A and B are shown apart, each in its own frame.
Chain A
């Protein structure tokens, strides 16, 4: 339950030590190296002209005026790329999307032409001077209408495509679930919509593409969370124009936040590469904020109908969820191949549900590609929102306390590993302990009493709970791949003669602090101080192959690879130590940092002494050096969990929701760096609160983006953010090498329903049963007015 005591000293800084982040000195001094910091000799700049229409025929593109702008060297259109068969590209979901259109645009802000110029300003002037003649076509923005007979078929590029359905996916036993619903004492049902939202990372997307005509080598500095997979995709897509994988180097430098939005391949990257190859000079393309918000892949946009069946006493018996997923005009998400709806089938949540069935239909509309996993572990946010909302509905229906209802239905601790009705094997958990801890910390019973008193006075306060179960660490090669590449991850560890080390990984930090936490893993396993372990990621010429950082997978996969590689190094170190101490390996005992002889602790060799010997005095017949590689294929996913409780007060005059308190109890297994975990949770909670109360990308009937800048896409500041109260329980993963589970997305996944449940709870006595997010002041005020309680 409680966190284990660290095994290493603070100087070594292994697991459990809140050592300061190794990357921060350069970030705090403004000395990070982001894509836009990269300057190469002769570098050109690219800007993109975009469509004002959501659906239109392109009748003519006139580039003459743009070419006359001083400094403009080239204007690239779909027709240009068509000559090289590069005007379309595959998505990571084996769908296709345009790089540049030749005849039609499919969403507002779609790329129409790219201008290459000698400086950024000339490129922008050139883009503004591109003249395009459009003929507007009927726009489909509503996914329900998109599926109606007679709706315009959007993907006419696909031979034989007669409707706008992308795919149908389902999980669970439909018949058994229907039977359970027929036999239930009580059934609750709710339409739940999670709108489109955007990752809005502080750094937008961009690249510097640098093709060397002499060597034939292409180097792309790029904002990507998955550089290795990108290299392979480039090799597969552009093989026919002569790009070969050994001649492609993808470098992911410092990344200013990814959150899933930097996994897809955007047209701008491909155009910049094509431009550099054709012109033979480096080409930089960096989106501005509005391009980022309007054209990059979106998240959520899930229309869910959730139902829960239960006995009179509150025992949940079955859950059923039917969903329409609006993917925009292309399925350009980055889910594992076999999971087009991600890991949505975690929707049985933290409850011992015997029957479950869920189905999802992906739909095309005239919107930018959607469906990226925005800090949500592949659609887990959606699943958690559905089950946690509908659980509160059941509590309301049965007039039960929502905490008591959860306690009654939690998967008991002794049932782990637990096989869920939808096919997952939950590795470990103690759900009642986490909820109990959250209730104690927030003073749950006292708050319920206060609520009764406040209601008597006409004041509105609510208490909301979310007891979520995450599913992360994709994943086992049997089920998980992206474009066929298995979702292992890797570490290559090399110990230098003086006992210092370099470790390279297949992942890529975007702010998570891998340079620190990975070093701590090595420190834990080898006793080499974390300060002496250099961590590198993101350069495909040097790092081992891996699938990248997203879906909270780095610690469960690459972190595990780091531990296993370190253990391989330790195995060799043991042989060297036996040689140096002239004893049998069996006579040696390990403690962090040294091998000693059993019963004679003074006879010992430190890892540093052993490292030196590996290069200066290694046993005859043994290879010199001290290094190891591990490609870690996880045996199972990991299942972090937690219980969040939120208290809100509602302003009866304005309808504003104020979060008074928010207690978050997280369990992510064993923790590498508590400070970094807290940082992840603080950020995640803020990113969970944002769509609950503020953020939404919506479209009018013509497909115009209504929140295409930070004026209307309301990213919270410190002023909107409550003071989070965090706490932990510790339930190690039984199958992970050091018992960790991953934490990057738990809070984003778990926070929204706690807030919604609190607001609904504040209004429940007025007959309110559900509110869709974002819960805006006017939305609440309309209810207050309708119920006659507005100020």
Chain B
């Protein structure tokens, strides 16, 4: 677990960082919290000629509500998210998610942006951001652009980010009243990737009917999975037992997991169903309480 050699760069500004990425080309990787990148390098499963550490770039760590969005800086740490008052109060689905990523020591370093930018469908934030309908802000040599989360994950370990772009912000629409969300993860032990995970974000109408449903699944395919059929099915319905069961079934149908030591395809798909049902129930109860 000794990495091959690499050059290390520590830019002090965002433009310096982007300049380095442009200049160094494909051999350069952005180092943020290092949660995924450092193990890959140490196991020699990946290599990088250059690491561009954005740890000293200012202004990327804020978590705040502004202009109808919750804005999470690209380098906000998981522990910041976990302990943020606004997140705990209004975005419990994010607090749920942060709390089941790795362990507290890793969460002190790991970043929310990195969790998305790595493009790993086994990571936890992608499902949650899908459920929340988030937008990703990318900054590169051509300036800033926004990418809807639905278009962000393009393949296994691949995202819509260009080589010289850095994920600088995540924007989540401020949820209307009677909204609630939950993330439920089944893991073999703390710190493991999910055997299965389900994120659900609901907004209810005056009569308790579903106005908006967002459902994302973790580790259920080559890219993070949005359970669109289940979301559509829930539209306008009240969340009784049969409705939840049917939505969970539809969500499981969207899962296309791979077998590994966490479980068989059958088990993982069934767990997507069980966990979606649990996430929906918890989200609904939070929405009603909100």
Contact = CB atoms under 8 A, between A and B. Distances in A.
Interface stretch (B29-37, B56-64, B73-81, B183-191): B183-191
Interface string B148-191: 00000000000000000000000000000000000000101111
Given A717-B189, A720-B190, A654 B274 contact: yes
Interface string A45-66: 0010000000000000000000
B44 A128 contact: yes
A778 B267 contact: yes
Nearest to B44: A128
B261 interface: yes
B68 to A, nearest CB: 37
Name which of B43, B186, B261 has the most chain A CB atoms within 10 A of its CB.
B261
B149 to A, nearest CB: 27
B206 interface: no
Interface in B235-290: 261, 263-264, 267, 270-271, 274-275, 278
A717 B191 contact: yes
Contacts of B186: 654, 656, 777
Contacts of B43: 290, 709
B18 to A, nearest CB: 30
A497 interface: no
Interface stretch (B1-9, B112-120, B136-144): B1-9
A786 interface: no
Name which of A289, A711, A716 has the most chain B CB atoms within 10 A of its CB.
A711
B16 interface: no
Contacts of A776: 188
A782 B261 CA distance: 15
A779 to B, nearest CB: 10
Given A714-B189, A719-B189, A719-B190, A121 B195 contact: no
A712 B263 CA distance: 12
B85 interface: no
A47 B275 CA distance: 45
Contacts of B44: 128
A717 B2 CA distance: 25
Contacts of A289: 1
Interface residues of B, number: 23
Contacts of B5: 121, 125
Contacts of B4: 125, 128
A707 interface: yes
B1 A120 contact: no
B103 interface: yes
Contacts of B1: 288-290
A694 B2 contact: no
A720 B263 contact: no
B192 interface: yes
A706 interface: yes
A778 B190 contact: no
B267 A781 contact: yes
A124 B44 CA distance: 11
Interface string A327-358: 00000000000000000000000000000000
B261 A712 contact: yes
B103 A717 contact: yes
Given A128-B4, A717-B190, A653 B263 contact: no
A582 interface: no
Interface string A110-130: 000000000011011100100
A506 B44 CA distance: 42
A37 interface: no
A497 B191 CA distance: 55
A121 B2 contact: yes
Contact of A120 (B2, B191, B263, B274): B2
A791 interface: yes
A782 B270 CA distance: 11
A486 to B, nearest CB: 41
B274 A694 contact: no
A124 B5 CA distance: 10
Given A125-B4, A128-B44, A288-B1, A653 B189 contact: no
Nearest to B39: A711
A776 B189 CA distance: 11
Contacts of A120: 2
B2 A714 contact: no
Contact of B189 (A121, A716, A782, A790): A716
Nearest to B271: A654
A47 B261 CA distance: 29
A47 B189 CA distance: 31
A707 B189 contact: no
Contacts of B191: 717
Given A125-B4, A128-B4, A720 B270 contact: no
Interface in A634-657: 653-654, 656
B271 A714 contact: no
A709 B43 CA distance: 10
A707 B261 contact: yes
Contacts of B271: 654
Nearest to B191: A717
Nearest to A695: B189
A654 B185 CA distance: 11
A781 B2 contact: no
Given A121-B5, A128-B4, A717-B190, A653 B274 contact: yes
Interface in B44-61: 44
A633 to B, nearest CB: 44
A720 B267 contact: no
A612 B255 CA distance: 80
Contact of A714 (B192, B263, B267, B274): B192
A694 B189 contact: yes
Given A125-B4, A778-B267, A781-B267, A791 B274 contact: yes
Nearest to A715: B189
B263 A778 contact: yes
B267 A288 contact: no
A720 B103 CA distance: 13
Contacts of A720: 189-190
Interface in A481-521: none
Nearest to B267: A778
Contacts of B278: 653
Contacts of A719: 189-190
Contacts of B263: 777-778
Contact of B261 (A125, A706, A717): A706
A64 B275 CA distance: 54
A439 to B, nearest CB: 31
A721 to B, nearest CB: 10
Interface string B193-208: 0010000000000000
A716 B261 CA distance: 16
Name which of A715, A778, A782, A790 has the most chain B CB atoms within 10 A of its CB.
A778
A47 B4 CA distance: 14
Interface string B1-32: 11011000000000000000000000000000
Nearest to A713: B261
A124 B274 contact: no
Contacts of B274: 653-654, 791
A120 B42 CA distance: 13
Contacts of B270: 781, 785, 790
Contacts of A694: 188-189
Contacts of A717: 103, 189-191
Contacts of A712: 261
Nearest to A718: B190
Name which of B263, B267, B275 has the most chain A CB atoms within 10 A of its CB.
B267
6 contacts: A121-B5, A694-B189, A707-B261, A717-B191, A719-B189, A719-B190
**Top 10 nearest A-B pairs by Cβ distance?**
A124-B2, A653-B274, A719-B190, A288-B1, A778-B267, A778-B263, A714-B189, A717-B190, A712-B261, A720-B189
Interface of B: 1-2, 4-5, 43-44, 103, 186, 188-192, 195, 261, 263-264, 267, 270-271, 274-275, 278
Given A694-B188, A714-B192, A717-B191, 4 more contacts: A653-B274, A709-B43, A711-B192, A777-B195
